[in-house]
Amino acid sequence: MNANGIASAVRSGERSAVRIVETCLDRVTQRDGATNAITRLLAERALDQARRVDALVAEGIDPGPLAGVPFGIKDLFDVEGLVTTAGSRVLAGNAPADCDAVLVSRLVSAGAIPLATTNMDEFAYGFATDNVHYGQTRNPHDTARLAGGSSGGSAAGVAAGYFPLSLGSDTNGSIRVPASLCGIWGLRTTQGLLPVEGSYPFVASLDTVGPFTASAADMRTVIEVLGGAPLDAVDPDTLRLSLLGGWFAKDLSAEMAAALSGFCKTLSIYDEIVVPGVEEARAAAFVISASEGGALHLDRLRSQPELYDPAVRDRLLAGALVPAPNVFRAHKLRRWFRDRLHEAFTQTDILVAPAVIGEAPRIDSPMLEIGGRSVPARANLGLYTQPLTLAGFPVLTVPLAVEGLPLGLQLVAPPGREDRLIAYGEMLERTGLARARLLED
């Protein structure tokens, strides 16, 4: 199930948008007890909008490039008539949203149909979608394993075949980590490229929003809709690729190391670039995230601490106590590290790095081996995504065509060069080196 295929069939009258939505709703009802990707089904709205799409087609009117395509919405985006939860009970008393978030509205205007809101780590603070209020989202490819987070419900929903695209957010890896673990395409867009209006913030100075899709070709269509303009044409054969070494070569699982080596060998990627200061950049991302997150929630933490997930509450409280000079130094390092990445792109067009250290961890043992120590996955699955957060550059997660559980790579480009990433992703998809892992009927 891919978005372009659905839209083409609906626009031609070959398929009914209503029937597509009914099938997707049935699929969620039958499957999501095992996966727990969905927090709320938008059945009435979805069916009403599907009828409107079918009516437009019957009148000879084009409903848009995403006609009849169901999509999922991470539960921190506003949906008209619903309370925006951000994965928490803390916001339950807020008034319902009076309009859709900007990105939701743009998809709807293109003919897409909102099907459901999706599970997430509370207030997007985590990499595991282990939510004390709404439950654990499980990986569709092995429900004994994590789906990743914080946009785990959106990624798992695409992988499970509930919808071919969904919306997520990425502050420190919240699109890239679950896309890799669930075996789908995910795009952290250039910071500031897409509007965040109507999405609940986590770390305003780092937050980005972006899509998950079932194919690279779908990603092109979706990002053009969300960005409001067609991407420039890029010949992928003209692009130079280099492997990110140093920090990004440590702690890889045997499966990831083999997959990455095979990928580079097949594509004749021999250049390696070691960007300085990666470990310090990750530490700076932790400091900025903790301090801004803590400051955002401090008043509510003082008055209603019992409403929070205890693990999230404690991290937010610790962040609120970070001394201001440390935050200043973190932002200073951020600027320095961004300059180092810009320098790297004087030697190459796309940087390649693993998205995570390996396959999805088991839920009954959510730990990772990093630096010879066993550490919690919830905070450390972003080992390779979090440092790149500081630069604000676009990153495409590529699902590798490998046996076994899904593995994903990050393709990184300079700011505003999503066109390079998607063109190269489409080439990888055409040649069979990358493919989404979707549960089929």
List, by residue number, the catalytic residues. 74, 150, 174
- Cβ atoms 126, 312 nearer than 8 A: yes
Q: Rounded to 5 degrees, what angle do the CA atoms 312, 315, 321 make? A: 140
CA distances from 39 to 26, 73, 154, 178 (A): 15, 10, 10, 17
Strand partners, 113: 70
β-pairing, 135-136 vs 408-412, is unpaired
Strand partners, 165: 71, 213
| Eight-state DSSP code of residue 101 | -
* Distance between CA atoms of residues 85 and 91, nearest Å: 6
* Short-list 338, 324, 27, 268, CA closest to 159: 27
3-state secondary structure of 382: coil
| Eight-state DSSP code of residue 233 | P
- Cβ atoms 198, 100 nearer than 8 A: yes
| Eight-state DSSP code of residue 249 | G
Cis amide linkage into residue 150, ω under 30° from 0: yes
Interhelix angle 43-58/3-12, rounded to 10 degrees, is 50
Cis amide linkage into residue 88, ω under 30° from 0: no
CA distances from 11 to 15, 49, 62, 111, 129 (A): 8, 14, 6, 10, 36
User: Residue 184 has which token pair?
Assistant: 């789908």
